A and B are shown apart, each in its own frame.
Chain A
Amino acid sequence: MLKISNLHARIEEKQILKGINLEIKPGEVHAIMGPNGSGKSTLASVLAGREHFEVTEGSVTFDGKDLLELAPEERAGEGLFLAFQYPVEIPGLTTTNFIKTAVNEVRKYRGQEPLDAVGFLKLMKEKMALMEMDQSLLSRSLNEGFSGGEKKRNEIFQMAMLEPKLAILDETDSGLDIDAIRIVANGVNRFRNENNAVLVITHYQRLLDYIVPDFVHVLYNGRIVKSGTRELALELEEKGYDFIKSEVAV
C-alpha cells in the first residue's frame, strides 16, 4: 500500500530525513518510535504533503501512485490521513461545518455522491458515540478551547468519518489520560480491517498494548535504524534509546 524508498527531506538548509525505507501492507499496523527531534513528525508531514519540507531524494508510492506528486487534499482523497500531533485551532469554523465539508470533498474525489443532511448527521452521531465525544463540541469552533484530550479524540473522530486507507497517528496518545487512551485505541481498532493500515508514532509502549503493532521501527537521526516486532517496543521501554545509539555508533 505504502512504499517509502530512500526518502530524504530538509527544511531550509537543515537535512532532517536521511534515507527512510519503509513498506506498509494492507491490514498491518506499524509503530515508529524514536527520541525527540529524530524526524518522526517530519516524516508524517512529508507524507501528508506539508509544503515547507523539501524532498531532496527518494520516492513514495501509495497504492501505486506517486504520492509526492499529489497535493495534500488529493492525498486525503486517495485515502491518506494524518492525525496531527498538534491539531490546529480555527476560531469561527464550527466542527460540524468543517467535517461536513471534508467528508463531502473526499466523497467527491472518490466519485461518490455527497451525503444528504440526514445521512451525514447519522454518521456523525455514530462516530461521536464511538469516540465518546460530547455533542456540544460540534457547534463549537474547531479545536478552539478543546482540552488536549478532546483535540486528540477529535482527530480520531475525523479519521473515522473520512475512512482512509492509511491512518498516520502522530503521538495521538500524548497528553491522554488512561480512559482516553482506551477510547482512542478502541476507535482505531474499530476502524481497522484487512484493507487498511495504521502507522502509529508514539513514545510509549502503553498505547501499543491497545493498538497491537505488527512491526516496530526506531527512527533515529533521520533514519530507521532498527526494526522488529512488538517486543522491540518493550525492550526500548526497559532500556531507553541509549542502547540504540550505541548500536548505531558501532
Chain B
Amino acid sequence: MNTVENIKEQLNRLYSDKKESGLHAIRQNAFLQFDKLGIPGVRHEEWKYTRINALFNKEFRFPYTESNLLRNDWQSLRLPGADDAHELVFVNGIFSPELSVLRRPGDLVLLPLEEAANSEQYAKTIAANLGHSSRYAKDGINALNTAWMYGGLFVHVQEKHQTAHPVYIYHITDTRKGNVLSQPRSLVHLGRASGLKVVETFLTIGSQESFTNQVIELIVEEDAQLEYYKIQNDGLHASQVSTTHVRQTGKSFAHTVTISLNGNLVRNNLNIVMEAPHCESHLYGLYLLKGHSHIDNHTLVDNVQPHCFSNELYKGVLDEHATGVFNGKIFVRQDAQKTNAYQSNKNILLSDTATVNTKPQLEIFADDVKCSHGCTIGSIDTEAMFYLKSRGITEKNARSLLMHAFAEDVLENIKLPFIRSYVDQLISERLEFDLL
C-alpha cells in the first residue's frame, strides 16, 4: 500500500472511532486538501532542498490511545527552570493532562482543543483562528496535521494578564514500540495587553524513527507581548516539520528565537503575520549541525498594514555532511506603507562536505518602505584562530569559542536565564569545548 493511502486509512479509522468531534468539519476539509496535495516532493518549490517525501518510505504508526508514558520516563528530559514553569506535555502528539503541571491555577486557561471549540466562551476565537496557518501553506503537510487534529490543546491568557511563569511545552515521541508519526496541534491566544513566554522542545525516546508534524498557532491581540523559543535537540532518528504561526491581530510585539542543534531532518516554518499597524516582531535563529543532519528554516513575515517593524537574524554553523536551507520571505502588501523589514542570514561551513542554500525572497507591493536583506557563507576566521591559539588555547577549544562567539548575537536574545544557560551548555557540548 502506498504511504498516502496508508495515512488516509489511518485518518479514516480515527474518524470512525472519534467522529463526534466538534472539529470534524475542519478536519474533513483538510483531509480533502491532503488528498489533493499529498506529500510534497522536491519538485515542489517550497521543498526543493528538503526531501521530506523520502521519510514516508517507512511505515509509521499513528497512535491515538493514551500513551502509558510514566512520569519517570520523562523526568530526566525536563528542561532547566522547569520547577518555575507551567509544563505542558504532549505524548505522541496528544496532550497529556496527567503529565502536565500548571504552577499557578488561573495564570493560564488550558483546555483540550475540542472542548474549547465547543465552549460558549472560546468557540468564536477558535473559529476565527484555528487553521489560519493553512492559508500560508501550499502543501499537504499542514493539511495532514489539521486532518488529524486529535488531542490538541487550547491555551488562553486573560486580557491584561502578565503570566507569572513561562510555559514549557514538551513534545515527546515514544518510539519504543515502533516508528511513530505524531501530530501535535495547539492554539495559543494572548488576550489584549497580556504577556506570555513560551518554550517548545522536542524529545524522542526509544530507538525507532519518529516523525513529528507539529502546528502551533499563536494569536497576539492588541498590546500583547509574546516571547517564543523553540529548542530542537532531538536524536538522529527524529525528524520533524514544525510550523509556528504567529498572527498579530492588533498592535503588538512578538519575539521568537529558534535554536536547532540536532535531529535527522528538521523543517521549520515560521510565519509572522502582522495584521495591524505598528506591530513589531523579531525573528532570531541559530542552527548548529553536524553528521548528516538537515535543517530547513522557512520564515515568512507578512506585512499587511502600515508602520510595522520586523528584524530577522538567522545564523548557522554546519560541519561534516550537514545541510542547511534558509528561505526568508518578506511580503509587503500594498497598504503596508512605512514598513521597516530587515533580514540577515549568516553561515559558516566547517567542512568541505557541508552545504547551505540560502535565499531571501522579498515581495514588495508598497512604495514607501525600508527593507534590507543579506546573506553570507564563510568559513572560520584563521586570524582569530591564530590569535586564540597563540594564547595557549587548543585548536578544538579555539574553534568552539569562535563558533560560540559567532552565535552570540542570536543567543543574547534568549531572555529566559535558565534557557539561555541550558542552550549555552548544549552548544559547548556540541562544540566539544573541554571544560578546564
A92 adjacent to B404 (CB under 8 Å):
yes
Say which residue of A91, A102, A108, A158 sits within 8 Å of B408 (CB atoms).
A91
Residues of chain A lying within 8 A (CB to CB) of residue B386: 48-51, 72, 88
B405 adjacent to A71 (CB under 8 Å):
no
Residues of chain B lying within 8 A (CB to CB) of residue A77: 392
Per the 8 Å Cβ criterion, residues 362-381 of B in contact with A are none
B387 adjacent to A105 (CB under 8 Å):
no
Say which residue of B383, B392, B405, B408 sits within 8 Å of A76 (CB atoms).
B392
Where chain B touches its partner, the secondary structure class is helix
Q: Does A241 have its Cβ within 8 Å of any Cβ on chain B? A: no
B401 adjacent to A93 (CB under 8 Å):
yes
B436 adjacent to A114 (CB under 8 Å):
yes
> In the assembled complex, how far is the CB of residue B144 from the closest CB belonging to chain A, in whole angstroms?
40
Q: Does B65 have its Cβ within 8 Å of any Cβ on chain A? A: no
A93 adjacent to B392 (CB under 8 Å):
no
Q: Does A139 have its Cβ within 8 Å of any Cβ on chain B? A: no
Q: A107 vs B391: C-alpha distance in the bound complex, in angstroms?
A: 11
Say which residue of B387, B389, B390 sits within 8 Å of A90 (CB atoms).
B387
Q: Does A135 have its Cβ within 8 Å of any Cβ on chain B? A: no
Q: Does A101 have its Cβ within 8 Å of any Cβ on chain B? A: yes
The verdict on A97 contacting B401 (CB below 8 Å), with A92-B407, A104-B436 known, is yes
Q: Does A98 have its Cβ within 8 Å of any Cβ on chain B? A: yes
Count of interface residues, chain A, beta-carbon cutoff 8 Å: 34
Residues of chain B lying within 8 A (CB to CB) of residue A93: 401-402, 404-405, 408
Q: A92 vs B408: C-alpha distance in the bound complex, in angstroms?
A: 5
Residues of chain B lying within 8 A (CB to CB) of residue A73: 389-395, 398
Q: Does A162 have its Cβ within 8 Å of any Cβ on chain B? A: yes
Residues of chain B lying within 8 A (CB to CB) of residue A87: 387
A105 adjacent to B395 (CB under 8 Å):
no
Residue from B391, B405, B407 with most neighbouring chain A CB atoms (10 Å): B391
Q: A162 vs B384: C-alpha distance in the bound complex, in angstroms?
A: 18
Q: Does B406 have its Cβ within 8 Å of any Cβ on chain A? A: yes
Chain A 76-92 near chain B by CB (<8 Å), digits 1 or 0? 11000110100110111
Add 13 more A-B contacts to A72-B386, A91-B405 (CB < 8 A): A71-B395, A73-B392, A75-B390, A76-B389, A82-B390, A88-B383, A91-B408, A93-B401, A102-B393, A105-B391, A105-B392, A106-B391, A141-B405
> Which residues from chain A sit less than 8 Å from chain B, CB to CB?
48-52, 71-73, 75-77, 81-82, 84, 87-88, 90-93, 97-98, 101-102, 104-109, 114, 141, 158, 162
